[in-house]
Structure 1
Amino acid sequence: MVKRQAYQPILITDARRSQDDQLTSRQKRYVLMMGIRVACIVAGAILVGAKAPLLWLWLPLCAFGMVLIPWLAVLLANDRPPKEEHRLANRFQPRGRDETPPMALSAEERPHKVIDAEP
């Protein structure tokens, strides 16, 4: 006798973003952060050239941006959404003695979500 897995429909609101969507948003974030880094480099060069007041304050801030932003940009560009935590662990979790699998219940007894537009 072969056990059947419980059927659990996926709601469209629970669906994950596509790989292409994720990649595009990470690329945009990376380009934006590197643009901010370029702005820090240009601002530092202009401040040195103009011998601006409080140069001792502005240059370390620009340098901090030039060093920290590329590191953060790479980390965030390589970041992906977390994987489903312990996918196999959910299958092998022991059920309570009086807990029945969802497909063993009739349609009326199965737990379901109700979406109501009115309060």
Structure 2
Amino acid sequence: MVRREADPIRITTATRSHSDDISARQRRYVISMTIRTICFLLAVVSIGHWFMWVFLVLSFILPYVAVVMANAGSSADPGAPDLMQPDPGRRSIEGKPGE
């Protein structure tokens, strides 16, 4: 029987580390450029068909999209805890009003 360690509980709202952010951006860029290469190859293979133009247009647009996605700011960290807003009607120290 294999014991699985529980995921650690995060108590901070700090974003992901810089290296994690860079690796996520690189992964998105490589995926986008792979799709672009596949579109270009499909355009070459389908010469003479109407959908060749669709693949060709996609292969020219996707590099721009890939660069914009790679340079976009880091998104909110999905593992971060939710921020709590204080309840203005609740007092932190109980006591008589006006003291």
Normalised-by-shorter TM-score class: 0.5 to 0.7
Question: Which of residues 39, 53, 72 in structure 2 aligns to 1:60?
Answer: 53
In structure 1, give the amino acid aligned to 2:58. Answer: G
For the aligned residue pairs, the C-alpha RMSD in angstroms reads 2.4
The two structures have a TM-score, normalised by structure 2, of 0.61
The two structures have a TM-score, normalised by structure 1, of 0.52
Shift of 1:80: 1.5
Shift of 1:22: 0.5
Shift of 1:81: 2.5
Q: Once the two structures are superposed, what CA deviation does each residue of 1:57-81 show, in whole Å capped at 9, x if it has no partner?
A: x122112211111000000111122
Aligned length: 70
Equivalence for 1:23: 22
Equivalence for 2:92: 109
Q: Once the two structures are superposed, what CA deviation does each residue of 1:30-85 show, in whole Å capped at 9, x if it has no partner?
A: 0110000100111011111xx4xxx12x1221122111110000001111227xxx
Q: Partners of 2:59 and 2:41 in 1: how far apart?
A: 10
Equivalence for 2:71: 78
**Is the partner of 1:109 in helix, strand or coil?**
coil
Q: Partners of 2:73 and 2:21 in 1: how far apart?
A: 8
In structure 1, give the amino acid aligned to 2:31. Answer: L
Q: Partners of 2:74 and 2:43 in 1: how far apart?
A: 35
Q: Which has the higher helix share?
A: 1
Unaligned regions of 5+ residues in structure 1, if any? 1-9, 83-98, 100-107, 111-119
Q: Partners of 1:77 and 1:44 in 2: how far apart?
A: 25
Equivalence for 1:38: 37
Determine what percentage of the aligned residue pairs are the same residue: 27
Q: Partners of 1:71 and 1:34 in 2: how far apart?
A: 10
